[in-house]
Amino acid sequence: MARITLQNLRHSYLPNPSGPDDYALKEIDHVWEDGGAYALLGPSGCGKSTLLNIISGLLVPSEGKILFDDRDMTALPPDKRNIAQVFQFPVIYDTMSVYDNLAFPLRNRGRDEKIVRERVTAIAEMLEVTSMLDTRAANLSPDNKQKISMGRGLVRNDVNVVMFDEPLTVIDPHLKWKLRSKLKELHQRVNATMIYVTHDQTEALTFADQVVVMDLGVIVQIGTPVELFERPAHTFVGHFIGSPGMNILPCEVRDGGAFFRGQPVTLEGPITKIGTRAEIGVRPEFVSLADSGIEAVVRKASDIGRHNVVEVMVGDTRIAAVTEGDRPAKGDTVHLQFRPDQTRLYADGWLATEARG
């Protein structure tokens, strides 16, 4: 049990990195609070697995420090850090029984057989694998194998953090949600810090209390799922989270206001920053079709169940809107309204408006 602090962490896989582009991780400063359920979300290659391997000790960072509470762990190997990690593909010891697999991390640390039995039984029960304890692990289905991998991560009750590296990749879709809710439940029961790495926003948003979004080796935003959805700190977050993602519209800033194709757009509040590139960000959920407003031509309208997703073109800019009720037909001319308190300005990609009140 510990608070994990990352200080000025940088990592490059090259021996002599010259520019920022040579770094897989550029300047990470972050504190993982004890007992939190975190998700590390980002596209492939954003550096999230690198970060995970640095925390677990499989990689030594080029620069910076990792502290568990106040102890410097940067140079310690994985087995000295008291952490657990579950990998993308299930790692099980083929020749052992399920019981021996689960007992392996405890036995390696010389725990008493009585304690081993207690812990293994408890974990097996939590994961609902009690009936399989005597079977050979090699014969299990992929999802059960992954459960055993998770079980090996959770079986020690003194771990500082349990990390999951895209653990549901090989699991059938219909079993994914089951394992996911199992994990959530386990977090509440074992009360250890958990870091869940994924590129799947649904997995991240359902599992975590705090989501850390990464892109190109930097942490872009940290927040609750609601915060990420409603107030993305960066256009990347807006675009990456939500389906369809946030509309990002190139605009002009003059006289303290934003103009999209010459028409003024009301923002949530005053502009705080001005950069070289200005964009308006508004989620499709907050774009509505109205009698007046920005004129647009419908390009495509699809029914996705309870809502319609309407894609319209304003000049050569595409805008998505989530609407209810009747669908407009392709080629119709419509008018768009943005909900002001959900319309923000981004300068060079970063949020540049302040919420009013």
Q: Which residues bind another protein (CB under 8 A)?
A: 53, 56, 58, 77-79, 83-85, 87-89, 91, 93-96, 104-105, 108-109, 136, 149, 152
Least distance to another protein, CB of residue 83, Å = 7
- Comparing CB distances to another protein, the nearer of 149 and 323 is 149
Hunting for tokens 């990749």 — which residue is that? 169
- Comparing CB distances to another protein, the nearer of 21 and 79 is 79
Least distance to another protein, CB of residue 170, Å = 12
Interatomic CA distance for residues 164 and 78, integer angstroms: 15
- Comparing CB distances to another protein, the nearer of 57 and 281 is 57
- Comparing CB distances to another protein, the nearer of 85 and 342 is 85
Nearest to 104 by CA among 79, 125, 129, 87: 79
Least distance to another protein, CB of residue 267, Å = 47
Least distance to another protein, CB of residue 38, Å = 18
Phi, psi dihedrals of residue 258, rounded to the nearest 5°: -105, 140
- Comparing CB distances to another protein, the nearer of 31 and 58 is 58
Least distance to another protein, CB of residue 94, Å = 5
Nearest to 62 by CA among 54, 52, 71, 72: 54
Tokens representing residue 144 in the block: 């059960």
Enumerate residues 6+ apart whose C-beta is below 8 A from 235: 246, 248, 279, 281, 346, 349
- Comparing CB distances to another protein, the nearer of 59 and 298 is 59
- Comparing CB distances to another protein, the nearer of 87 and 350 is 87
Least distance to another protein, CB of residue 31, Å = 22
- Comparing CB distances to another protein, the nearer of 84 and 233 is 84
Least distance to another protein, CB of residue 56, Å = 6
Q: What is the 3-state secondary structure (H, E, C) of the chain?
A: CCCEEEEEEEECCCCCCCCHHHCCEEEEEEEECCCCEEEEECCCCCCHHHHHHHHHCCCCCCEEEEEECCEECCCCCHHHCCEEEECCCCCCCCCCEHHHHHHHHHHHCCCCHHHHHHHHHHHHHHHCCHHHCCCEHHHCCHHHHHHHHHHHHHCCCCCCEEEEECCCCCCCHHHHHHHHHHHHHHHHHHCCEEEEEECCHHHHHHHCCEEEEEECCEEEEEECHHHHHHCCCEHHHHHHCCCCCCEEEECEEECCEEEECCEEECCCCCECCCCCCEEEEECHHHEEEECCCEEEEEEEEEECCCCEEEEEEECCEEEEEEECCCCCCCCCEEEEEECHHHEEEEECCEECECCCC
Beta strands at 37-41 and 193-198: parallel, antiparallel or unpaired: parallel
Least distance to another protein, CB of residue 91, Å = 4
- Comparing CB distances to another protein, the nearer of 155 and 246 is 155
- Comparing CB distances to another protein, the nearer of 91 and 314 is 91
Least distance to another protein, CB of residue 52, Å = 11
Least distance to another protein, CB of residue 87, Å = 4
